[in-house]
Amino acid sequence: MPRIFINGQPIEAARDQTVMEAALANGFYIPYFCWHPQLSIAGNCRVCAVQVEGRSWAEIACNMPATEGLRVLTDSDLVKEYRKSILQLLTLNHPVDCGICDKAGECKLQDYHYEHNGAPSISREPKVHATKFHPLSERIVLDNERCILCTRCVRFTRQISKSSGLGVVERGDSSLIRAVENRAFEADPYSDNVIDLCPVGALLSRPNLYKARVWYTQPTPSVCPGCARGCTVQIWHRKSEWKLNALDPWLNARIERITPLENPAVNGPWICNKGRDLAKIFERPRAEQAMQKGRPVDLDSAIAAARRVIDGAHHRVALVSSWGSNEELHAFKLTLASRFAAYVKHDWTPQPGETLQDDLLIRADKNPNSATALELFTRADDGAKALPRDVDLVLVWGEGFDFARAPAGAKTILLGSYLAPENGHADVFIPISIQTERRGHYTNFQGHVSAFEPCFPKKDGIADAEELFVSIAATEKATA
Amino acid sequence: MADNRVLMSFVVTATSHTLAEYRSRGGYASLEKALRAMKPEDVSREVTTSGIQGRGGAAFPMGRKWSVVHLNDGQPHYLCANADEGEPGTFKDRWILENAPHLLIEAMLIAAYALQVRHAFIYIRGEFDRPYRRLAQAAEEAYAAGYCGERILGTDFSCDVIVHRGAGSYVCGEASALLSSLEGKRGYPRNRPPRLTVRGLYQRPTVVNNVETLSNIPWIIAHGGEAFKKIGVEKDPGTRLISISGHIARPGVYEIETGYPWRKFIYEDCGGVLDGRELKCVIPGGISTKVLTGKEIEALTLDNPSLNAAGSSMGSGGMVAIAEGTCMVRLLQVLLRFYHHESCGQCTPCREGMGWMHRIIDRIVAGNGLSEDIDQLYRISGWNDGTTICGMGDAAGYATVGILNKYRDEFEYFIEHKRSKLNGNLECPAYS
């Protein structure tokens, strides 16, 4: 355990730690662009410079081993001057077009410039121009003028996602980040992480380009339901104080973007591209109206009808959603499960072209909460066989049930969130809330429990599954 | 000139580079001596005793570099000859590669024996065509004669020598960038620590030596380290190949003992300045060393201690003589264009700074200079001083500061009058 001194204060560094790691772990501040805890050391941005006491030059902290007795200064005059020079150089050919840059507000270059330099450029030369709007893939656009060549994105594709999809071409100040020729980057299921990794506004999401300023949006912690990994994410949506009546209400309540929420136990700082596209799942047309045989009814009537249907049946089967939260699954277990033969339903199965499973994050089970569902309702539905002929009631919770499997005369109760043709055919259809409208927990395949919070209010006429089960059970008992 | 010849000790003919002639000159005798009569430690000791310093530019003692490699640490070691001679003005390694390729191969085998290396590499500059063909031919001859490969000369020592051709990059002459390039990666210099002698090629201990440095080994083994130490000056012993070009009557490669008087070298050995003109200045050892004026070199001798005291160094031995009447502004423009073109683009100060300085000097030469430009060049040079992964940023800064310090008046004149103080020529005979 080497003991080092930062700005005169003694700290205990761990074995084989660098000065950067030891400093950050002990609450000292050192700026950095190219360094990243999960990536190899590149040492090319040079902004993390510190001064070893007694030396007249600055050295980079990210590659400096914390050796016994080392004394470094992070804010000496020399270091301050050095950082200023680096920021002058980095902004030399940078277009400084923050006004139209999606990264503005969370850009390291912007932050450090205000923090360490603050002066306008001392250069009199015209800016050197480079490619703008270079499409690196279907998902990502690159602005080479904003790029500071920290190579975080290159190292990510080599060391984390292993697609080696990005590289540097040309040299010197003509260097450009480019995708390799065999479309490996296009096929990289983790490619969007380079957008978060990019410390400046060089790599931007094409679907989200110019959609929202960072400061108009806020993140809500959530869990990605895309697979059994259950990566923690942040769902960015418009701040309530920035909701504009003039906007289409839909624009005020939409998912602006999804970013990873760092979680060392589950996903580290990464998520896959499917996790970035949760809007494609959550923003499908919603079912907002309770129905009986396709006839609109109010929610209370639908609940009463469901209760009557359950009472009237003898051989009841329930297909429980593996997208239900721990709370909902437990509520079902405590209220209705005793009257049903309950099977766990896999709401989502792998889609064509989707990565089935890999070594980094993606799991073959494309449902977030199979762990709790299988713990409470041990029998898994095999998803293909027809249900026994004597079944006279099927309660389907969530998506992914093929109604052709239900016996011809059986009644059906469907609890769904999205518009679907089968909604109108069910004897009782009750619309239920989705993940972004409620609070809850998922348990991932390793047993880690992660929480999600509501981003948007639930519309009137839509039920929360947890309360719904209680009220169906309550009305049953009241009338029994 | 010098009495002691270590490298240029034979007459160059059309066949002097072949194995037969090399053996007739006593070639590969040192290899036999080392393999049969010496232990690896003995070879290293002789090299350390000789006190030979690196000839690539940094003048790091070869013995000290070798001593970091532990012989029995249970991992492979690598040896690499740096034949990526790209420093402008330097072409002395080319002489060895063209005329004595077997000398290099023999030297590498002895070094490989001393460092217990199974695979030794020669990274040769891509633009070197004839040297490459000669070296490749020499390697084939050496393999056929049993000097390379399995069980060399019937001993237990085996070593393969691999000749690798670079793709034409100045930065790949930097040892760590050279190894990255050899591994098939982009030729980016690597961060230190770790040193290359701890983790170099394929993350194993690797010794990278300049061609000329290595080529001294057979002589050292044949005559002993003590004998080598007696040549030249004590603190920088041996001989040096100097490749001189520019405004000089007899350009070419010369071998001198260190400590040789500089004035004598230029005016007697090299025949003086072209057209009999005055010597304005000399770039002593490749453009990355600080320029010395014609007056300054009068009293100096050609060795590192002497040049260091004058604020410069022997560098890679690529001397450029510059006659009176040469425009230093245009000279700096040429240098900065080179550095701008060759910056690898890894570190911020060099990547951005080189282009910036190049654009400033271009503007001055175009007649649009500003009074603040000189300070700006000083400032950017300072920002590159010791702040980058490799030494290229520093080198460009030294070259710029060296010229600005000594010829500031020419820059001020150019900026003020929008034309050169000296007709703006770099070429000598254009106005005699």
Per-residue pLDDT tens digits for B298-326: 999 999 999 999 999 999 999 999 999 89
CATH code, domain with A28: 3.10.20.740
Clarify whether residues A356 and A208 are in a common domain.
no
- In a domain, residue A249? The reply is yes
Q: Taking the CB of residue B13, how many other CB atoms lie within 10 A of it? A: 10
The CATH class given to the B328-426 domain equals mainly alpha
Any B CB within 8 A of A93 CB: yes
> Is residue A97 included in any domain, yes or no?
no
* Chain B positions in Cβ-Cβ contact with residue A174 (cut-off 8 Å): 345
Amino acid at A91: T
Give yes or no for residue A476 having a pLDDT over 70: no
Binding-face residues of A in 61-90 toward B, CB within 8 A: 63, 65, 82, 85-86, 88-90
**What is the length of chain A?**
480
Closest chain B residue to the Cα of A56, Cα to Cα: B386
Question: Tokens standing for B194?
Answer: 């770790």
CA distances B203 to A40, A56, A215, B65, Å, are 14, 31, 46, 17
Q: Which residues of A420-451 are buried (b: 16+ CB within 10 A; e: fewer)?
A: beebeebbbbbbbbbbbbbebbbbbbeebebe
d(CA B294, CA B300): 11
- Chain B hits for A51, CB-CB cut-off 8 Å, are none
User: How confident is the model at residue B2, as a pLDDT?
Assistant: 47
Which pair of tokens denotes residue B193? 């620590």
How many angstroms separate the CA atoms of B44 and B39, rounded?
9
Q: Is B343 helix (H, G, I), strand (E, B) or coil?
A: coil
With CB atoms and an 8 Å threshold, state whether A149 touches B345: yes
Question: What does the mean pLDDT of chain B come to?
Answer: 94
What are the extents of the domains in chain B?
19-229, 232-323, 328-426
Q: Is A90's pLDDT higher than 50?
A: yes
Looking at domain B19-229, which of 3.30.70.2190, 1.10.1280.10, 1.10.287.3510, 3.40.50.11540 is its CATH number? 3.40.50.11540
Q: Does A172 contact B351 at a Cβ distance shorter than 8 Å?
A: yes
Q: Are residues A446 and A334 in the same domain?
A: yes
Q: Which fold has domain B232-323?
A: Ubiquitin-like (UB roll) (3.10.20)
Q: Same structural domain for residues A382 and A353?
A: yes
Same domain, A63 and A156: no
Residue of A46, A60, A129, A150 to mutate for B, most B C-beta atoms under 10 A: A46
Q: What is the ipTM of this complex?
A: 0.91
Residue A119 lies in a domain: no
Contact B345 A124 (CB under 8 A): no
pLDDT in tens, A215-248: 999 999 999 999 999 999 999 999 988 887 887 8
pLDDT tens-place string over residues B201-260: 999 999 999 999 999 999 999 999 999 999 999 999 999 999 999 999 999 999 999 999
Which of A29, A55, A90 is where one domain is finished? A90
Q: Are residues A312 and A268 in the same domain?
A: no
What is the pLDDT of chain A when averaged over all its residues? 93
Domain boundary residue, one of A247, A281, A315 = A281
Same domain, A202 and A65: no
- In degrees, rounded to 5, the angle at the alpha carbon of residue A332 between the alpha carbons of residues A331 and A335 is 80
Residue A96 has pLDDT above 90, yes or no: yes
- Say whether pLDDT at A75 is over 90: yes
Question: How close, in Å, is residue A14 to chain B by CA atoms?
Answer: 18
**Mean per-residue pLDDT for B180-188?**
95
The percent of residues above 70 in pLDDT, for chain B, comes to 98
Quick check: B432 pLDDT over 90?
A: no
* Polymer length of chain B: 432
For residue B405, name the pLDDT band (cuts at 50, 70, 90).
very high
Q: What one-letter code names the amino acid at B385? A: D
Q: Is A115 among the domain residues?
A: no
Residue A85 belongs to some domain of the structure = yes
| CATH code, domain with A322 | 3.40.50.740
Domain for residue A124, yes or no? no
- C-alpha to C-alpha distance for A251 and A248, rounded to whole angstroms: 5
Contacts of A60 in chain B (CB under 8 A): 191
* Domain, as residue range, for A344: 291-479
How many CB atoms are located within 10 Å of the residue B422 CB?
A: 19
From chain A, the residues in CB contact with B356 under 8 A are: 89, 92, 123, 125
User: How confident is the model at residue B276, as a pLDDT?
Assistant: 87
Question: Which residues make beta-bridge pairs with A236?
Answer: A219, A257
Residue in B closest to A172 by C-alpha: B345
Q: Are residues A234 and A317 in the same domain?
A: no
pLDDT in tens, A343-398: 999 999 999 989 999 999 999 999 999 999 999 997 776 767 788 888 999 999 99
Tell me which amino acid residue B221 is. I
For residue B430, the model assigns a pLDDT of 47
Statement to judge: residues A453 and A389 lie in one domain: yes
Nearest to B352 among A65, A89, A124 (CB): A89
Residue with tokens 């070009």: B245
Give pLDDT tens digits for B126-155: 999 999 999 999 999 999 999 999 999 999
pLDDT tens-digit readout, A416-459: 999 999 999 999 999 999 999 999 999 999 999 999 999 999 99
Q: What is the mean pLDDT of residues B36-52?
A: 96
pLDDT band at B429 (very low <50, low <70, confident <90, very high): low
Q: What are the tens digits of pLDDT across the range A249-297?
A: 888 889 999 999 999 999 999 999 999 999 999 999 999 999 999 999 9
User: Where does a domain end: A90, A109, A126?
Assistant: A90
Tell me the pTM.
Answer: 0.93
Are residue A398 and residue A362 in the same domain, yes or no?
A: yes
Cα distance from N-terminal residue to C-terminal residue, chain B: 30
Q: How many structural domains compose chain A?
A: 3
Check CB contact of A382 with chain B, cutoff 8 Å: no
Let me know whether A239 and A307 are in one domain.
Answer: no
Same structural domain for residues A145 and A65? no
